Every structure is written in structure tokens, then in C-alpha cells.
Structure 1
Amino acid sequence: MTKEAKHVLITGAAGQIGYALCPMVAGGRMLGLDQPIILHLLDIEPAKQALEGVKMELLDAAFPLLKGIITSVDADIACKDVDIAIMVGGFPRKAGMERKDVMTKNVTIYRDQASALGKHASKDVKVLVVANPANTNALILKEYAPGIAPENISCLTRLDHNRALAQVAERLGLHVVEVKNVIIWGNHSSTQYPDVNHGTAGGKPIREVVKDDAWLDGEFLTTVQQRGAAIIKARGLSSALSAASSACDHVRDWVLGTPSDGSWVSMGVVSDGSYGTPAGLVYSFPVTCADGKWKIVQGLAIDERSAEKMKATADELAEERDLAHECIAAANA
């Protein structure tokens, strides 16, 4: 291996998603089998011992690509020189907590981590926010890390994208690689709009192959929108393996590029106003990637029903943004 090692930060590294994500990154699942990695693992003080346990297991796995491991409970130390930051750590909603309570916790976390990244990360660092509310956490990070280019900050909707692909593939009895160009519009929440109108299955339009608009406009949508809750109900724990895998997919395509066959993926990125979405929101769009940059797919025909759903999820994101700003103002008072 002649490549220089890439420094990859994983926050919340001792948690469930972090535990699933660390070996995937160390094994080359994210950046390729020829890319050496130095892992920077960050978590909070109460998880310090567990974090050391994760480091021990990574060492014991003897990953050929893993050139070093840095563990810390100090964001300034963990963020130093990182090329890619996967922001998994966040405050989960607990019983009896109001939405505003969770938002207050998370905007404070992401404001502080934005500062650390802005001061210490590589100037070209690519940031992926996984922790919920992912879109709004990414927005706060963008606002408090002005030294990081807005186009280098994104949030994870690839998990929803992959869920949509899988639902169509399972319905049709196809391999998932035969389903392409679904779209997740908007928020990583139950208002997201999983759109199959431009997608194909086995090379043919999805609607033409499925032949069941009632399913596509009903059960399919709600299954994708509520998949996370269904997994918690079935497993007793939130989606960890699939979230980690999707984070790898997101970064891999962002860094190494999407296929040049006209297919696209879904990423939460800073809106430029495309498709009538408010500029500045972190909104999920269909994108293609090349040379480490993403580009929103333009010119897709949007019917009236889709436009309404796309606006509804944008409205929710605007409400979240305003609530986040209120929380920060209160925290600063």
C-alpha cells in the first residue's frame, strides 16, 4: 500500500452504531481495500472504558489497513487532522422528554463539535452526520463551523434510500442491485418522501413492473418512513448494522464516485433552492458524485402529489431549524 493513511473520526464510537461502523471502516468497506486508515474514536467520559474496549477489539482483529487508533473523550484531540468525520454521537430521546428537550441537548453537542472540527480538522474535511435529528444537526454544524465548506457537510439519508431499494427488490423477487434511482426527498424522519417515480427495476420503470400503485403510494411509503421504529419494536434496539453500512455507502460514493451509468443516490446536503426547496436547509436530494464532489440531479419531472410531499418535509425541516435556533438562544442566555 502506497497511499497515505486517511484519518477518519467516528463520534459516539462506543455506542451500537459506532461498534458496527468501526470494523467496517477498518476493513476497507468505506474507502476501499487499498486505503490505509487511522481511526479517531470519540465518546463521552462515562463511555471511556467501553471506548478502550472497542480499541482492544480493533487491535485484536489485526486489520491490515488499520495503521493507528486514537481514542479520546476530548473533541479537540479527536478532531485533529481528520479527513472524514462520521458524527454518530448524539443525545437520544428518552421517555417523558419533549422534542425541544432533545433538540436542546443535540444542538449544544453539535455546536461544540462544530467548533472542534473547524479548529482542528483538515481544511477539506468531509462530514457526515448520522445522529438524529440528522438534517438539523448537520445544519447547526454548518452554522458553527464556518471554516468548513457547506458542500462538505452532509447527513445520512442513504439508509432510507437503501431501505426503499430493498422493499422494491423484495416485492419483485429481484436482487437489490437490479433496483435503481429511487429518491429520498427531505428529512430523515417520518415526513421523508420515498419517491419511485424515476426509478427502475430490472431496467424498467418501477411502477410499470410493480403494477400496484396502491402499494407504492401506501404501504411502501409508510414501511420506509417507519422502518426505524419497526426495527426497534422487533429488535428492542435501534438500527445499528444497517445505519453503519449505509454510512459506509454514503462516504464511499461521495469520495470514490457514483457509477457513470446515470444512476444516483440520496444524500442530505445543503439546499441551493433546487426543486423549490428553501435554500440553506439540509435536505435530501438525488445526487451523483465524482472527484469527491456531489451534484444534485436536475430536470426531474415532479408531479403535483410529489410536490406536496416534498414541501411538507421541507416545512418540517424549517420548523426544526427555527426550534434549534430557539434552543441555542436559550442556552446562550
Structure 2
Amino acid sequence: MAETLRVLVTGAAGQIGYSLLYSIANGDVFGKDQPIILHLLDITPALGALGGVKLELEDCSLPLLRDVVCTDQEAVAFKDIDIAVLVGAMPRKEGMERKDLLAANVRIFKSQGTALETHAKKTVKVLVVGNPANTNCLIASKYAPSIPAENFSCLTRLDHNRAKGQVALKTGVTAAQVRKVTIWGNHSSTQFPDLRHAEVTLATGETKSAYDAIQDENWIKNTFIPVVQKRGAAIIAARKLSSAMSAAKAICDHLRDWWFGTPENDWVSMGVISDGSYGVEKGLLYSFPVKCSNKTWTIVQGLEINDWARDLMNKTAQELVEERNDALEACNK
């Protein structure tokens, strides 16, 4: 048996946490020989519901789950953790402007960044899910300066999985037959889902570029891209709740690939600190195509960027610059 991992999930009484915790505790993410202690953080009014989640986890009788720590105190939640999954965030409410939402979340992620700095292991891996995820991740990293910036990432795997799913439906294959999809930029409606380097293995066994397999550039530009960009809103409109099952699955995929590595012939999308690749401003938290190995990620290099793609990449980068500037202004108030 490996040494026990301490995994923190914030907002753990919420619907994403409820959909996520079983997979982590059951070994589906970090391996079937990896003991887990779950640290579950939520706001004080949610402690009753969080206690119910703990009871259910106990009732699952999971052999890898060593303990469940439920708390509303950051000092307890972040103590000696190996993994942090920061799901909890202030949701956007009716009539709320984007700046108001950013200001509310700056307070949360400034505090949690400070808690990471003070209480977590310096090797901790941090995945930010709560929206606006890119900017929340940037703020958390800023306030945990002794933890390497490359240990922070935000979730764009849900968008990545959505893109794969749409291509699979269009071409009549399974999602496993779709590779090298990319999500560039922000986890928002400005993101750029990019198929220009993607591959599809058809039912015949032949592998083609996604463009050749689909043979419909109009569909790619005018149906596929908007569907992926606006999928979250479509789910809210249909379900009256935001994505939970698919978000939890994407969190598991992101963490598993970060931990164990990506397949040799594929890459995934992660929001990470830019090193200046593809002309994206250094230090911006931006989604790139990445490969993972030895619990680290590297940005895939050398992909051709044409003028059309560059325009879309710049638009989502500009939104992230504006979010960052608004968030930093809020930090200083």
C-alpha cells in the first residue's frame, strides 16, 4: 500500500462534490492501492449536509478510505494536504455584474491561497473548478508564493470532453477514437475549441484528421464551436442546475492524467500558467494542450496557428487579461 494521500475538496456538500467524492475514495482517480483521507470543506450553513455526505461515504464501506474530515475551518481543511480540488465558489446571481462576481471570488481564493501557503504541503497539487476558474486559480497561486506555480491548474477538461463528445457523435465513433482536441483560453463562452490538429479513428480502422473525417468546415465553425462554448448554459437551461456529473467526471480525468500521465499519442487541455507559448502573455492562466508525465505537465509545442485561430485565441486571452486586472484591483481594496 502507498502512503496515504490527503485530498481536500471544497464546496464538498454541493452537487459536484456529491458526484465526485465516491470516485476519489474508491480509487478511480489515484489508483486501487492508494489509501485516501478526505478533507471536506464547506460553509457553516452546509455543515449539516456535509455530515450527511460523510455518513454516506461511511456506508459505502470503501476499503481505501481511511478517514473523512468535515469542517468549515480552512486551517483544518488545508492541513498537510497533498491534493486540493477547489470546487466551492460564489455563483453568479441575478443582476450581478462580472466585476461583482470577481470581487466576491477574490475574497474566497485569496483566503484559500493563503491557507495553502500556511497549512498545505509545498508539493500540493491544486485544481481550481469554481468559476471564473482561470482567474480564481491565478489568485490562489498569487497568495501561495512558496508553492510552485506549475502546481496550480484550472479545469478545462470538461470543455475538452464536450468537444470530444461532439466529434464522436458527428463521425459515428466513440469518444475514445477522438484524440488531440484542444481548448484554448478561458473556461467561458470565449474559449476556442480547436479541431485543427485533432484525429479521428473511423469504424474502418482508418485514422484521419478531424477535418477530413467530418468534411464539413461550416459545421465545425458555426455549430461545433458555439455548442461547446455554450454547453454549460444549455445544461442549466435544460436541467435548471449546472453541470455536476460531467464536471465530476472531468475533474477525475484531469487529476488522473496529471497523476499518472497522458497517453503517448494524445494530449489533454488544462488551464495552466503561461510561459509565453503561442504568444500568450507570460503569467496568464490560460488553457493549453498539455502532456503529463511524472506528475508534471508540459505545453505541447509547435502547433500551427493560422490567422483565424490566432484571432479566436487572442479574444479569449483579452477576456482573461480583463478578468485578471479586475481581480487584482479587487485584491488591493
Corresponding residue to 2:281 among 278, 282, 286: 278
Task: State the SS of the aligned residue for 1:187.
Answer: coil
Q: What code does the residue aligned with 2:246 have?
A: S
Q: By how many angstroms is 1:223 displaced?
A: 0.4
Matched, 1:164 2:163: yes
| Aligned twin of 1:259 | 263
Matched, 1:219 2:223: yes
Matched, 1:312 2:315: yes
| Aligned twin of 2:34 | 35
Alignment gaps of 5+ in structure 1: none
Deviations 1:52-100 (A, max 9, x none): 1110100011111111111110011000111000000000011111111
Deviations 1:178-229 (A, max 9, x none): 0000100000000000000000011210000100000001110000000000
Matched, 1:294 2:270: no
| Aligned twin of 1:249 | 253
Q: How far, CA to CA, are the matches of 1:123 and 1:96 in structure 2?
A: 39
Corresponding residue to 1:209 among 203, 207, 213: 213
Deviations 1:222-250 (A, max 9, x none): 00000000000111100011111101100
Note the 1:102-113 alignment, pairs <5 A.
Answer: 102-113=101-112
Matched, 1:88 2:91: no
Q: Over aligned residue pairs, what C-alpha RMSD do you find?
A: 0.7
Q: By how many angstroms is 1:132 displaced?
A: 0.2
Q: How far, CA to CA, are the matches of 1:196 and 1:286 in structure 2?
A: 12
Matched, 1:63 2:67: no
Conserved? CA contact 1:87–1:130, under 8 Å:
yes
Task: State the SS of the aligned residue for 1:92.
Answer: coil
Q: By how many angstroms is 1:152 displaced?
A: 0.1
| Aligned twin of 2:244 | 240
| Aligned twin of 1:17 | 16
Deviations 1:163-182 (A, max 9, x none): 00000001111011000001
Aligned residues: 328
Q: By how many angstroms is 1:310 displaced?
A: 0.5
- Normalised by the length of structure 2, the TM-score is 0.98
Task: State the SS of the aligned residue for 1:300.
Answer: coil
Q: By how many angstroms is 1:33 displaced?
A: 1.6
Task: State the SS of the aligned residue for 1:46.
Answer: helix
Q: What code does the residue aligned with 1:259 have?
A: P
Task: State the SS of the aligned residue for 2:291.
Answer: strand
| Runs of 4+ deviating beyond 6 Å | none
| Aligned twin of 2:136 | 137
| Aligned twin of 2:118 | 119
Q: How far, CA to CA, are the matches of 2:152 and 2:309 in structure 1?
A: 26
Task: State the SS of the aligned residue for 1:18.
Answer: helix
| Aligned twin of 1:187 | 186
Conserved? CA contact 1:158–1:250, under 8 Å:
yes
Deviations 1:91-140 (A, max 9, x none): 00111111111111101000001111111111100000000000000000
Identity %: 55
Matched, 1:26 2:25: yes
Q: How far, CA to CA, are the matches of 1:159 and 1:35 in structure 2?
A: 25
Q: How far, CA to CA, are the matches of 1:101 and 1:315 in structure 2?
A: 19
Conserved? CA contact 1:76–1:117, under 8 Å:
no
- Normalised by the length of structure 1, the TM-score is 0.98
| Aligned twin of 2:204 | none
| Aligned twin of 1:326 | 329
